[in-house]
Amino acid sequence: MLKVKSLYKSFGDIEVLKGISTEINQGEVVCIIGPSGSGKSTFLRCLNRLEEANKGEIIFDGQSIYGRDVNINRIREEMGMVFQGFNLFPHLTVIKNIILAPMLVKGLSKEEAYSIGKSLLAKVGLEDKIDAYPDQLSGGQKQRGAIARALAMSPKVMLFDEPTSALDPEMVGEVLQVMKSLALEGMTMVVVTHEMGFAREVATRVIFMDEGVIVEEGSPEEIFNDSTHQRTQEFLKRIS
């Protein structure tokens, strides 16, 4: 579904991605782990071109997203993204956050968008906050709302950029629970995370990145229990 071929990205003189190649298949839940500064988030942000890669190719559904006549907005419709900082729109209520893009981008009627929004809010357990403003929500509620907002576009793949890193510890669980149920429904997900428990339990594949390269990838057991790479072992020891 998503093919990445030797992706390079620099910020000024600093090379953040040094030739990333991987493939993400339908229904996979891929967790990307690694020390901070390893390029995980930059890699994720390249997938929907929030960050422009300097070199390399990304093919989504058989189409290069860097192609000349590609409308990136059409591609982004099909890739949901959830941010570390939630980024709900503070001037809109929760439901309006959710229906904005379906109405504006997909041209759904208000009624259609509303009913999709309502069922998604029920799914993430926020049906009682439908008319609340983001400021009135806890961090965990905000992030669940942001997930519902991304899902409202019925994307083919969901990108999560450290979705629980800005949350108070007691709210991490509720967000991970929503992500887990999403994974169980078969959603294709790419998750940059520090939650090793989640990666171990939910991921179908774990990618370990360090210093701009993929050091190794494999099933959670392979990475967490039988890693052969010294850098992976050191990282896992450090965080455990």
Partner 1 sequence: MSFFDHVVKVLPLLLEGLKLSVIITVASAVLGIVIGLFVGLGRISKKKPIKFLAGCYVNFLRGTPLLVQLLIIYAGLPQILQLITGRPSPMSPIVAAIAACSLNSGAYVAEIIRAGIQSIDKGQLEAARSLGLTKKQSMARVVLPQAFMRIIPPLGNELITLLKETSILSAIGLEEMMRKGQLYVASTFQPFPVYITVAFIYFIIVVIISKALSLLERRLRISAES
Q: Which residues bind partner 1 (CB under 8 A)?
A: 48, 50, 73-74, 76-77, 79-81, 83, 85, 87-91, 100-101, 104-105, 133, 135, 146, 149-150, 153
Question: Closer to partner 1 at the Cβ: 76 or 205?
Answer: 76
Cα distances (angstroms) measured from residue 137 to each of 121, 140, 142: 13, 8, 6
Residue 143, strand partner residues: none
Smallest separation, CB 109 to partner 1 (Å): 17
d(C-alpha 182, C-alpha 197), whole Å: 16
Question: Closer to partner 1 at the Cβ: 6 or 109?
Answer: 109
Ramachandran bin of 161, using left for φ above 0, alpha for ψ from -120 to 50, beta for the remaining angles: beta
3-state SS, residue 129: helix
d(C-alpha 147, C-alpha 64), whole Å: 26
Question: Closer to partner 1 at the Cβ: 149 or 205?
Answer: 149
Question: Closer to partner 1 at the Cβ: 144 or 149?
Answer: 149
d(C-alpha 100, C-alpha 180), whole Å: 26
Smallest separation, CB 153 to partner 1 (Å): 6
Smallest separation, CB 214 to partner 1 (Å): 23
Smallest separation, CB 105 to partner 1 (Å): 4
Smallest separation, CB 223 to partner 1 (Å): 28
Question: Closer to partner 1 at the Cβ: 6 or 11?
Answer: 11
Number of helical H runs and strand E runs in the chain: 9, 10
Smallest separation, CB 51 to partner 1 (Å): 10
Question: Closer to partner 1 at the Cβ: 77 or 222?
Answer: 77
Question: Helices in the chain by DSSP H: which ranges?
Answer: 40-47, 72-77, 94-104, 110-123, 139-151, 169-184, 196-202, 220-224, 230-239
Ramachandran bin of 135, using left for φ above 0, alpha for ψ from -120 to 50, beta for the remaining angles: alpha
Contacts of 206 (CB under 8 A, 6+ apart): 30, 31, 32, 33, 199, 217, 218, 219, 220, 222, 223, 224
Question: Closer to partner 1 at the Cβ: 9 or 231?
Answer: 9
Smallest separation, CB 50 to partner 1 (Å): 6
